[in-house]
Chain A
Amino acid sequence: MLLEIAHLTVRYEKAVLINDLNLYVDTGELVSLVGPNGAGKSTTLRAISGLVAWEREIKRRSAGSEIVLEGTVTFNGERIDQIPAHEIVQRGLVLCPERRRPFREMTVLENLLAGAYLQKDRQKCRETLDKVYDLFPLLRHRSHQIAGTLSGGEQQMLAIGRAFMSDPKLLCIDEPSTGLAPLIRQEVFEKISEISRLGITILLVEQEVSVIFKMASRNYVLSSGKILAQGTGQQLLADEVLRKTYLGL
């Protein structure tokens, strides 16, 4: 098992965002995490990548609302739930965040180099950059353009490319297709499949259930912070209630 989440609970003040969640991802898999708006998908990804703990520290310092984070996250055989966010990347768990969030004032190339911040080896950095450029040729052509001026689809490619630069063993991608035109969505999904074929394990949060179920080896359905069901796309779609109520199909 590359990633194992056990009994994860996240509370903001009284609100329970994640409730005793268990989930695992094996090496080489593409696993999806789906569910309605506000289910806690992003919170799950933020918890495993250390951002919830990071936010908790800030809230604690500013005497703001209290955040509770319980349970264990094991990555590559090591407990990472007590490790700060900036050290989790180093271990190969990389998050491509919701709403893409490129560094808008920096160039495409600078964004990509920021992704490779921890890469000390210049040669290796260049090689990874070439891989990203091969994967997303448009980024090569736009390398000196300011990221804020890219279209939504291009910004998504940049966000994925930037995450790729961090040399992920497990790449978590949060809603890459949201807000994009259908053709662009398709392209984004193709790129994700391509990255998966390169041997990188992927945990994907998405709304587009019909497409995702075909791509993923296993899927988790999340609602109100709880895992409702898991299985292959076929298994999940066979469940009438689940399909109608939670998957909107």
Chain B
Amino acid sequence: MNIIITGLITGSMLALLAISFSLIFGVARIVNIAHTAFYMVAAYCIFSLTGKFGLNPVAGMMIAVVVVTVLGLLAYKFLIDPIREHEAAVLIATIALAMIFQEAVMLIFTGDYRTVSALIEGYFIVTGVKVFYQQVLTFGVVLVILGILWVLLMKTKLGLAIRSTAEDREVANLMGMNDSRLAMITMGISVALAGFTGAVLAPLTVLSPYMWMEPLIMMMAVVVLGGLGSIKGSFVAAYILGFTEALVVFMIPKGAFLKGSVALSIMILVLLLRPEGLFGISFEEER
């Protein structure tokens, strides 16, 4: 039971992170290493807004997401956009950005571990296992956001433009889609989702300036397993990895320290056996 709950929550969180990461990669070929650093910033935002300023947690969440989105758009405009066509440079710039966030958080909040109080306290017991209301809430909210994202991508004009640009940027231009503008919008959505993940997860985790690294590796593993650029792939792979991680942690005594290595092993295996991932498209057709 614990495995299922942890697996579901980790899986959903990874799904949100991996899908939002894939989104901006697909549209603008931006590999945003700082993606999970935005997630960290959101968590710390909540921590200071609710803890220090005594704000209502929901309001804190909203503000955190807005702050992170604005930060993301600024970073895009002034750091990423000028070098957007240079894939290696973008990689390095976003690593630097993640480091900057990490050091900034370190300076402001010190390296001490922090916690954010749950939105709703308490738990109920199913088959002898404690299920915290906060866990259920986080899971539910993440599902709702995934649903909204699906509707946005599949049912709206903006979603159509985002998918078209991701598939063939040149042809998308021929239909009147402005790829620069769409890259900017997608960056906003992508970072907002990262921030949102940080916000809903904050009460369930321990905050530290290094908290972006582990989910980054897990997220990369999900993206590799699911196939770069495939949203369906990211979704399925996220739950596979979420459950694998939960299994390792609960089945192997003191298995928690193995979490990262499982993700890395899966990533290496997939790269060796099936480089295009579960649902990925091979890149042969690209020019």
Q: Give me the interface of A with B, judged by CB distance under 8 Å.
A: 49-51, 54, 58-59, 61-64, 84-87, 89-90, 94-95, 97, 101, 103-106, 110, 113-115, 117-118, 162-163, 166
Give the dominant DSSP class at B's interface. helix
A-B contact pairs, 23 of them (CB 8 A): A50-B173, A51-B170, A51-B173, A51-B174, A54-B170, A64-B85, A84-B173, A84-B178, A85-B173, A89-B174, A89-B175, A94-B174, A97-B171, A101-B171, A103-B171, A104-B167, A105-B281, A106-B163, A106-B164, A115-B175, A117-B160, A117-B161, A166-B176
- Report yes or no: A95 in contact with B174, Cβ–Cβ below 8 A: yes
Flag if B160 contacts A110 (CB, 8 Å): yes
Complex contact B174–A103 (CB within 8 A): no
| Closest Cβ–Cβ distance, residue A32 to chain B (whole Å) | 21
Alpha-carbon distance A101/B160, docked complex (angstroms): 16
Question: Which residue of A61, A94, A95, A105 contacts B84 across the interface (Cβ within 8 Å)?
Answer: A61
- B77 CB within 8 Å of chain A: no
How many interface residues does B have (CB within 8 Å)? 23
B172 surroundings in chain A (CB, below 8 A): 114
Minimum-distance CB pairs A-B, first 7: A62-B85, A118-B176, A61-B85, A89-B176, A85-B173, A86-B178, A117-B175
Closest Cβ–Cβ distance, residue B267 to chain A (whole Å): 24
Cβ contact within 8 Å between B85 and A114: no
- Assess whether A87 is in contact with B170, with CB atoms less than 8 Å apart: no
Q: How far is the CA of A104 from the CA of B85 in the complex (A)?
A: 24
CA distance A90 to B171 in the complex (A): 14
Inter-chain contact B163/A103, CB cutoff 8 Å: yes
Q: Is B177 an interface residue, CB under 8 A from the partner? A: yes
**Distance, CA A104 to CA B171, complexed state (A):** 12
Contacts of B274 in A (CB 8 A): none
Minimal beta-carbon separation of A110 from chain B (angstroms): 6
Whether the Cβ atoms of A117 and B176 lie closer than 8 Å is yes
Q: Of all chain B residues, which has the CB nearest A64?
A: B85
A163 to B176, CA, bound (A): 11
- Cα A64 to Cα B178 in complex, Å, equals 22
Shortest beta-carbon distance from A178 to chain B in Å: 16
- Taking CB atoms, residues of chain B closer than 8 Å to A94 are 174
Q: Is the CB of B160 within 8 A of A114?
A: yes
Is B254 part of the binding interface, using a Cβ–Cβ cutoff of 8 Å? no
A51 proximity list for chain B (CB < 8 A): 170, 173-174
List the A side residues contacting B83 at CB < 8 Å.
61
Residues of A within 8 A of B171 (CB): 97, 101, 103
Contact A86:B177 (CB < 8 A) given known A103-B168, A110-B160: yes
In the assembled complex, the CB of A11 is this many whole angstroms from the nearest CB of chain B, namely: 20
Interface centre among A54, A89, A105, A163 (most CB of B within 10 A): A105
Q: Which residues of B contact A85 (CB under 8 A)?
A: 173-174
The reply to whether B173 and A54 contact each other, CB–CB distance below 8 Å, is: yes
Nearest CB of chain B from residue A17's CB, rounded to whole Å: 16
Q: A85-B173, A89-B174, A118-B175 are in contact. List 7 more A-B contacts (CB 8 A).
A: A58-B85, A61-B85, A62-B85, A64-B85, A86-B177, A117-B160, A117-B175
Is residue B157 within 8 Å, beta carbon to beta carbon, of the partner chain?
Answer: yes
In angstroms, Cα B167 to Cα A84, docked, is 20
Which chain A positions have C-beta within 8 A of B130?
none
Tell me, rounded to whole Å, the shortest Cβ–Cβ distance linking A94 to chain B. Answer: 7
Q: How far is the CB of B60 from chain A (nearest CB, A)?
A: 38
Which of A54, A103, A115: most chain B CB closer than 10 A?
Answer: A103
Name the residue on A nearest B230 (C-beta): A105
B142 to chain A, nearest CB (A): 25
Q: Are B167 and A103 in contact (CB under 8 A)?
A: yes
Query: Do B168 and A101 have beta carbons less than 8 Å apart?
Result: yes
